[in-house]
Chain A
Amino acid sequence: MLDTSPAEVAGPPTTSLPPQVGALRDCVRTFAQERLRPEVQRLDRADAADFDWDLVAEGHRLGLTRLVISRAHGGLGHGELGVAVALEELAAVDAGFALVFGATMLGQAPLLLSGDPALQARFLPLFSGDEPVLACNAITEELAGCDLLIPENAQYALDVMRARRDGDHYLLDGAKKFITNGRVATYATVFANIEGNPGASALTCFVVPLDSPGVELGAVADKMGYRTCLGTEMTFRGVRVPAENVIGGEGGGVVINVQQMNMARAAVAAISTGVARGALDLARQWCGERIQGGVPLYRHQFTARKLAEMSTKVDAARLLYLRAAHLADTEIPAPAYEPAVAKLFADRIAVEVAEEAMSLMGARGYVRDWGMEKYLREALGARIYEGTPEVLALAITESMYATDDDF
């Protein structure tokens, strides 16, 4: 069990972390290396719909399902910084396992952002029981992904899930796609457009228990990576949701979505950093053991240059996500620029480092038993969720041209 005293918010960490965050990192690192690593090959080769509740339960007992929940609601009271360093440790071993918990936190985020004590009291304590409880954040649809994330695009979104007021309830109709944890979550924060408004211009966030009548959980996507977590289709047919389950009021969905994405991007950047670090660790080990020309590979100047570049990229990615997480912990609304920069860079270097690491291992890098090619498959995944490079570029340039009043 982790120490639950609050993490101190100091300046952005560079070479050291606040003590509570450092303790969390050490605890999660031990779990990831000793419990998760031996299971990685099995998890990666399992059927798409398989889910290892036993390992998730172990993560739950560490507190990974309630990192960001306040102590008043039974959580650990960590901020984005704690979340990010924990997810880097998990992703250095298995990015899909990291995303099980990252997606749960994303399902909790609208409730945390709401400031609504009644909603928080109903849903947040669920994560403090003996059995693991997961959540999910249901945004993406067949025809709408980025359009639900970019406010200017919202009116053009096609065929968005509908919400219709019916007395003191809403009726939800529509379908979601690629929803991480959709199959295994207890509740979802679901985004639907109020009927009669174009596109997603009245996008609204609802908390929906997934045992509600009319919720149907569909196929699990057979992904090339992130196989430990389940991306699921979800269909809602006339699902009745009480009006008090609306977060942020009618039409508040796009801004909640933007805000939670700005919070989440530091964490996803940390996952990509972890993937890059995992690949680098394997390459470093290999290049230290493999003898060619009478010396270890790393003694060859060309290989040394590659390893040095890879290590520099991982360090830079980590510093960028630490800065972004620190700002997300100390400013509301969370800034758009720093998390987007961190994610854009980390997602890119994860692919570069994993590809280079594979190359350094030669044929072994291409063989599944050695575990390297999995890092390349997973590096490609983070470029899609929580903002593609194109969406991130828009967020970054918007910030570059924005004016600020130095508050």
Chain B
Amino acid sequence: MPAYTSREQAVSVFSQLFEIMLEDDAFRAIVRDEALSVRFVHTEPDFELYVDAEGVRVDGPAAPTTLAIKMSCDTADALWNGRLLMPIAVATGRIRIKGSVARVIEFVPLLRPAFDRYPALAAAAGVPTSA
């Protein structure tokens, strides 16, 4: 059974996740100072999130971003819930990233707080915890 039953549900949870991240002064400062922009390409259901220091936009601008990260919503759910480790997901191709690998190496550790925030967000949206 897929973790997300509708596009609206998935957009809501993942948008909130990165909006919360951007409320963190340190995270926002790094994103702004490093001029980071990230396009999260989610599939099943399909949608894109555009994240930069200005905020989170759904199906955001087509402009090139620093990084583009693609994964299914099931993979995203497993990742942020801690059931799937990033190195495994990357190595097996369940998460695919385009952009400067050097920037990825700097960016990925910044996402740590998302692992703490996601389970409660997903649960509140009715996403089954054992999906």
Contacts and interface: CB of A to CB of B under 8 A. Distances in A.
Interface string A114-129: 1111001000000000
Nearest to A80: B101
A258 interface: yes
A115 B86 contact: yes
Given A255-B88, A255-B92, A407-B96, A117 B112 contact: yes
A80 to B, nearest CB: 8
Interface residues of B, number: 25
B107 to A, nearest CB: 9
A328 B95 CA distance: 15
B123 interface: no
B101 A332 contact: yes
A113 B100 CA distance: 14
B100 A249 contact: no
A329 B101 contact: yes
A70 B102 CA distance: 7
A407 B109 contact: no
B70 A115 contact: no
B112 A332 contact: no
Interface in B54-94: 68, 70, 85-88, 90-93
A115 B102 contact: no
A362 B17 CA distance: 69
B2 interface: no
A247 B96 CA distance: 19
Most buried by A among B70, B86, B95: B86
A400 interface: no
Interface residues of A, number: 32
A12 interface: no
B24 interface: no
A248 B102 contact: no
A121 to B, nearest CB: 9
B115 to A, nearest CB: 11
Interface string A77-109: 111100000000000000000000000000000
A329 B102 contact: yes
B99 interface: yes
Interface of B: 41, 68, 70, 85-88, 90-93, 95-102, 104-106, 108-109, 112
Given A70-B105, A72-B106, A259-B91, 20 more contacts: A9-B99, A70-B102, A70-B106, A77-B102, A79-B102, A110-B87, A113-B87, A115-B86, A248-B85, A248-B88, A249-B85, A252-B88, A255-B88, A255-B91, A255-B92, A332-B90, A332-B97, A333-B91, A333-B93, A407-B96
